[in-house]
Structure formats: C-alpha cells, structure tokens
C-alpha cells in the first residue's frame, strides 16, 4: 500500500464513522391557499384579505425528527419562510382560521421524533389579481432558518393536501 493510500483509508473510515446525522429533519406539506375571509366572530368589520395579487398560503408541520441530534433546541414558528415571506402570527388568518392549531415556539428535546399537526401561514405575491387561484396550484419550498447554535435543518416535503380552489379561507380544510 503506498503512502497516500495509508493516509486515505483512516480518513475515509473517520468520515464514514461520523456516526449520526447532525441535522434535524422537518417534514411539512402545503394545505392550501386563500384570499381572506371573516373572523370567527362573524363581525364584518373584522374581515381580512391578503390583498390584490397576493394570497395566504397555509402549511402544516407534520413532524420534527431530531433523533440524530444529541442537543435540545427550540423550534421557532417565525423562522419558517418561502423566499422573504415568513410565518407571521400577527396575520389575521391566525386568529380567524388557525387559532389553537397554529404552530408556536416549541422546545425540541435531543434524540427524539415529535409528531405535529400544527399550521402556519404567510402571504405570497402572485401575478393573478385573485391570488388564491395561482397560489393554490403553485409549488412552494418551505424553508427554516435555524438560530445560531441550533442544529442544521433538512426540510422534507410530504404530499400536499388535495384541495379545491378556495378563495375563502374558511373553506380551507386544515389537514
């Protein structure tokens, strides 16, 4: 065995034995898109709308797989995004539609997989004046921006919910 090979074999073994994935995996899927609606109180003064050429897009976080990570960290709902649009619990859709099912900040213990069924929403821009008509069929890549010191995160998309065109947020089925 030549000198290079003697050095390469132990380095390869060390690389392959870096046992455990240092990244957490978050599985998610798109639930649907809508333009707006009326708040749960039914008060017309509390109507909400994403605006022309915009839509609310609702996602669910299915699970966080932290089994390969030996550190605890905090999942922050406001760190999920599509481009420059972030989950924003201040959006009216959170009060009117997501309510107690909205994703919030959540501690993730080390070496566990946690199942969720928690929802988040953001506003996207569209070419269509009726934003939901475009956003409902568009493919979005939901991303997560870890805080310093958090493990890396791999985003894994599950199958999107099958939805009909839903301009009224009240008709979006949270599934």
Q: pLDDT tens for residues 124-145?
A: 999 999 999 999 999 999 999 9
Answer yes or no: is pLDDT of 7 > 70.
no
Helix/strand number for the chain, H first, E second = 3, 11
CB-CB contact of 123 with 50 (8 Å): yes
Per-residue model confidence (pLDDT) at position 12: 42
Per-residue model confidence (pLDDT) at position 160: 76
Q: How confident is the model at residue 2 (pLDDT cuts 50, 70, 90)?
A: low
Cα 157 from Cα 97, distance rounded (Å): 23
pLDDT of 53-100, one tens digit each? 999 999 999 999 999 999 999 999 999 999 999 999 999 999 899 999
- Burial class, 89, CB count within 10 angstroms (exposed 0-12 / middle 13-18 / buried 19+): middle
pLDDT of 92-105, one tens digit each? 999 899 999 999 99
Q: How confident is the model at residue 5 (pLDDT cuts 50, 70, 90)?
A: very low
Per-residue model confidence (pLDDT) at position 18: 45
Cα 129 from Cα 103, distance rounded (Å): 29
Tokens of 29: 């899927």
Give the E-state strand segments of the chain in sequence order: 23-34, 36-37, 48-49, 54-65, 73-75, 80-82, 85-86, 106-108, 113-125, 143-144, 152-157
Cα 86 from Cα 78, distance rounded (Å): 6
Nearest to 43 by CA among 90, 95, 86, 3: 95
Cα 83 from Cα 155, distance rounded (Å): 14
């Amino acid at each position: 065995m030549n000198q290079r090979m003697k050095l390469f074999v132990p380095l390869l073994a060390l690389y392959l034995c870096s046992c455990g994935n240092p990244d957490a995996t978050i599985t998610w899927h798109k639930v649907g898109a809508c333009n707006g609606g009326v708040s749960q109180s039914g008060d017309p003064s509390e109507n909400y709308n994403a605006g022309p050429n915009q839509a609310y897009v609702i996602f669910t976080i299915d699970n966080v797989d932290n089994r390969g990570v030996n550190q605890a960290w905090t999942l922050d709902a406001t760190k999920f995004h599509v481009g420059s649009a972030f989950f924003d619990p201040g959006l009216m859709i959170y009060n009117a539609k997501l309510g107690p099912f909205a994703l919030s900040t959540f501690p993730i213990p080390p070496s566990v997989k946690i199942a969720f069924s928690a929802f988040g929403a953001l506003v996207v821009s569209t070419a269509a004046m009726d934003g939901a008509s475009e956003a409902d069929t568009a493919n979005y890549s939901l991303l997560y921006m870890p805080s310093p010191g958090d493990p890396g995160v791999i985003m894994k998309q599950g199958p999107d919910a099958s939805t009909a065109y839903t301009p009224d947020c009240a008709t979006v089925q949270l599934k």
